[in-house]
Structure 1
Amino acid sequence: MNDYPNRILDDKQLEELLSRPAEETVEMFKRLEGDIMFLGIAGKIGPSLANMAKRACDEAGIKKRIIGVSRFSCDEEKKHIEELGIEIFQGDLLERDFLESLPKVKNVFFLAGMKFGSEENASLTWAMNSYLPALIAEHFKDSKIVAYSTGCVYPLVDIDSGGSKETDVPKPLGEYAQSCLGRERMFEYGSKKYNTPVVLIRLNYAVEPRYGVLIDIATKVKNSIPVDLSMGYFNVIWQGDANNQVLRSLEYTETPAKILNITGQETLSVRDIAEEFGKIFGIMPIIVGEEAQTAFLNNSDLAHNLFGNPKLSINKLLKWTGYWIEDEKKILGKPTHFEVRDGKY
């Protein structure tokens, strides 16, 4: 299962790696009761997460109804997801009639939300990130729910702290992070009111060669754009590892809702990562500013105790990302803005 290549050749190989289920994930699907729905399937994570679930079912030799729900602003993405063998429901989850038309399956993954542009459209940000979760918690009150959140609900912490733990008090900075805490509170409320088993995933950050913090740094180094050290440290996890952990979280849903930090083990230095990319590209990175003593950092010991350590090393991730850029392959072109320190995305 861990026969990772030295270099990812194309999108097809990358998609296979992102959606490759671990043996533990396949075993879980053998035990899992009921069908599966992915709300907000379109985007960076949804397609590979749902495909991993489909592949896990196939490898487990079981049949489940796997459903993807989205507005699908891109027809090409909709076609791609349908070709994976995933049943599609197209519509706006904020429309009550559409939401109430959805089948009430046993297992629900909530991926819908808004981050970029949140400062320009605060009302929609709150509707997507707080109001919609309240609707979902009510409609799927008899399901198990795994809902994506963000490590940004924590405050900036000292870089030597080891990162925020699930037991730490949230102190969200800016309206985006505040609305994400609102999302969590709505699922917590639904969990308590309806006795719904829930896991809240505080992800910080999932990366792959087309998107993420590593791509943000790598493209700046490659194009001789200054790398800002304002946010000098960060955590990342390979999206394939995160996908496996998120799927397996279904077995750890609880009432009241359980919180899980999902990220890598290391606290990474922006300066060090930029220098490593510089070696790959044969370029001296342009580095500006000084590292602050604080950053958004998560402690993921609880998840690692449940699922084991991530299978992909940071060194492999660096090489894959660097080679992807070096080969001039397509990236998503959506900066993470990880360097933002005031919460304004």
Structure 2
Amino acid sequence: MLDRSATPVTLDPSMFPTHFEDVAHLEDFMSTPTAALVADLARIDGDVIILGVAGKVGICLARMIKRAAPDKRVVGVARFSEAGLAENLERAGVETMRCDLLDEKAVGELPKLKNVIYMAGLKFDYKGREDLLWAMNVLAPAIVAKHFAGSRIVAFSTIHVYPWANPLHGGVTEASPPFARPGEYANSVVGRERVFQHYSRLTDTPGRIARLVYAIDMRYGVFQEIAGWVLNRKPVPLATGHVNVIWQGDAAAQIARLLLHCEVPSSPINIGGPECVSVRRIATAFGEHFGIEPNFVGEEQADCLYVNCDAAADLLGNPVVPINTMVRWVAEWVKSGKDAYGKPSKFEVRSGVF
């Protein structure tokens, strides 16, 4: 049973472990809400429904919101094709509902809660089914936006809608319009954003579009991939020489807080850390942890997919978990051979085709 009378435990650097014992330890820590999230959710009326909750960030986000606001109803919606995910959420006090978001009738039966976080989408392994890519990234948002007209809608997006930029120039800001980069994925996500903005304007529905940078988890992400390359003495590619990253727990907390900052029409905001992170530097740091001299291939190119997150810092503050702490955690996790998803971010890919 959840103790609804207890004051939520909130994330503080004094709580940082030296390492994570296992997945349960990691997920419990990663879903610890920040004090700012607890305060912001207390100011927001209504309950929360998360669409596409079964992804890597979704489980963390749902558990975090329930821990931050135990009196709110939190509903997680997905197809739940992976065994155990729905039960995991239910144990945390999150209601679960199975729904295909391309099924307009099924979406029409979902509860019209006041706060919606939209996380559904398709990115990888779409070759040969490009029609499904566009349906998931454009048609499903239209179905959802019509059903939840009048609710607050925070929709996940990606920095892949931006052109590449020279990281020495500060990164691309939200003032830059979404750009049709090579590859159908980026184009379809521009479509997703425009659909949400259209229905926001049409139905006076407040929203925000969270252009999320690379999230860091022990089991996947840019740092986990670089650590694996170094530990296994594989060459670290340097062409994409700089990246944006953020601890997944910080990303979840900031995105949930956007419910308090929705606008009409729905507007974009970059969610990520303040640093321009050097791939070479991170690989070297992992090498020091492992006692291995990294191997590099290629040279840093003048441009990369790098965005400016100053607007989020002004609105929400900086993330709680710093870069060096993430490096230490990932190094121990990878070196000890703990679980990994085996789903690379492909941050180094420069063709736009994933």
Which of the five TM-score ranges fits, normalised by the shorter chain? over 0.9
**Paired residue for 2:161?**
153
Shift of 1:91: 2.2
| Distance of 2:235 and 2:353 partners within structure 1 | 21
Query: For residues 59-89 of structure 1, what are the alpha-carbon distances to aligned partners after superposition, in whole Å with 9 as ceiling and x for unaligned?
Result: xxxx221101000111211211111111111
Residues 209, 321 of structure 1: 8 Å contact kept: yes
- Letter in structure 1 aligned against 2:202: K
Shift of 1:96: 1.4
Residue 20 (structure 1) aligned to one of 32, 48, 58: 32
After the TM superposition, which parts of structure 1 deviate over 3 Å for at least 4 consecutive aligned residues?
none
Among all aligned residue pairs of Structure 1 and Structure 2, give the percentage whose two residues are the same amino acid. 44
**Paired residue for 2:213?**
204
Residue 168 (structure 1) aligned to one of 168, 176, 188: 176
**Paired residue for 2:50?**
38
| Distance of 1:187 and 1:175 partners within structure 2 | 19
**Paired residue for 2:249?**
240
**Paired residue for 1:218?**
227
* 1:57-136 equivalences in 2 (<5 Å): 57-58=69-70, 63-136=71-144
Residues 202, 261 of structure 1: 8 Å contact kept: yes
Shift of 1:119: 3.5
- Letter in structure 1 aligned against 2:272: T
Structure 2 residue 56 is the aligned partner of structure 1 residue 47? no
Secondary structure (helix, strand or coil) at the match of 1:160 reads: helix
- Letter in structure 2 aligned against 1:10: D
After superposition, the CA RMSD in angstroms is: 1.0
Structure 2 residue 345 is the aligned partner of structure 1 residue 333? no
Return 313-322 or 225-234, whichever deviates more.
Answer: 225-234
| Distance of 1:23 and 1:294 partners within structure 2 | 37
Secondary structure (helix, strand or coil) at the match of 2:77 reads: strand
Secondary structure (helix, strand or coil) at the match of 2:149 reads: coil
| Distance of 2:228 and 2:52 partners within structure 1 | 28
- Letter in structure 1 aligned against 2:160: C
- Letter in structure 2 aligned against 1:139: H
| Distance of 1:7 and 1:79 partners within structure 2 | 27
| Distance of 1:149 and 1:118 partners within structure 2 | 17
| Distance of 1:312 and 1:270 partners within structure 2 | 18
Structure 2 residue 267 is the aligned partner of structure 1 residue 258? yes
**Paired residue for 2:193?**
184
**Paired residue for 2:329?**
320
Aligned residues: 341
| Distance of 1:244 and 1:102 partners within structure 2 | 24
Residues 207, 236 of structure 1: 8 Å contact kept: yes
Shift of 1:228: 1.0
| Distance of 2:238 and 2:321 partners within structure 1 | 26
| Distance of 2:178 and 2:317 partners within structure 1 | 26
| Distance of 1:228 and 1:194 partners within structure 2 | 46
| Distance of 1:119 and 1:236 partners within structure 2 | 27
| Distance of 1:18 and 1:304 partners within structure 2 | 20
Residue 249 (structure 1) aligned to one of 258, 265, 270: 258
* 1:294-313 equivalences in 2 (<5 Å): 294-313=303-322
Query: For residues 286-340 of structure 1, what are the alpha-carbon distances to aligned partners after superposition, in whole Å with 9 as ceiling and x for unaligned?
Result: 1101111000011000100111111111000000000101111101110000011
Shift of 1:6: 1.7
| Distance of 1:238 and 1:118 partners within structure 2 | 27
Secondary structure (helix, strand or coil) at the match of 1:109 reads: strand
| Distance of 1:273 and 1:35 partners within structure 2 | 40
| Distance of 1:90 and 1:226 partners within structure 2 | 43
Structure 2 unaligned runs (5+)?
1-10
Secondary structure (helix, strand or coil) at the match of 1:45 reads: helix
Shift of 1:259: 1.0
Secondary structure (helix, strand or coil) at the match of 1:265 reads: coil
